[in-house]
Amino acid sequence: MSTAGRQFYDRQIACLEAGDVSRLIAEQYHADATLVGFDTTVQGHAALLAHFTNYMAQVGQIKLKSTDRFTETSDAIFFEATILTAHGEARVYNVFLLKGNKATHHFTGLIAFTPFA
């Protein structure tokens, strides 16, 4: 049985792998959602759309290699994953605070990056 948090995660990954930034923002984030990283903070659909459009242009593509750690509560998910980009392999972490089936807050960061040879 798939939990609500796992369903959110699966949709997030599917949108990113498809490069469908518009769907990602519309389906996964509340209108006033905030994304926080060590080098950026953006809030609202317009800012999130610009952020993810730029992010996808930088990484080129995303393919989930593995979900390394995953935990959830009734209103949050926290995971570490390994993803393949056009430029190399990245280990990332993300925390999503959820209200209903959408994120109100998204905290994100990079653990390690190994470029392709």
CATH architecture of 4-115: Roll (3.10)
Question: Per-residue confidence of the chain (117 residues) as pLDDT tens digits?
Answer: 789 999 999 999 999 999 999 999 999 999 999 999 999 999 999 999 999 999 999 999 999 999 999 999 999 999 999 999 999 999 999 999 999 999 999 999 999 999 998
**Distance separating alpha carbons of residues 45 and 73, to the nearest angstrom:** 25
Strands 102-115 vs 40-43: parallel, antiparallel or unpaired:
unpaired
**Distance separating alpha carbons of residues 80 and 75, to the nearest angstrom:** 18
4-18 vs 21-28: helix crossing angle, rounded to 10? 160
**Distance separating alpha carbons of residues 46 and 66, to the nearest angstrom:** 30
Domain ranges of the chain: 4-115
Amino acid at 72: E
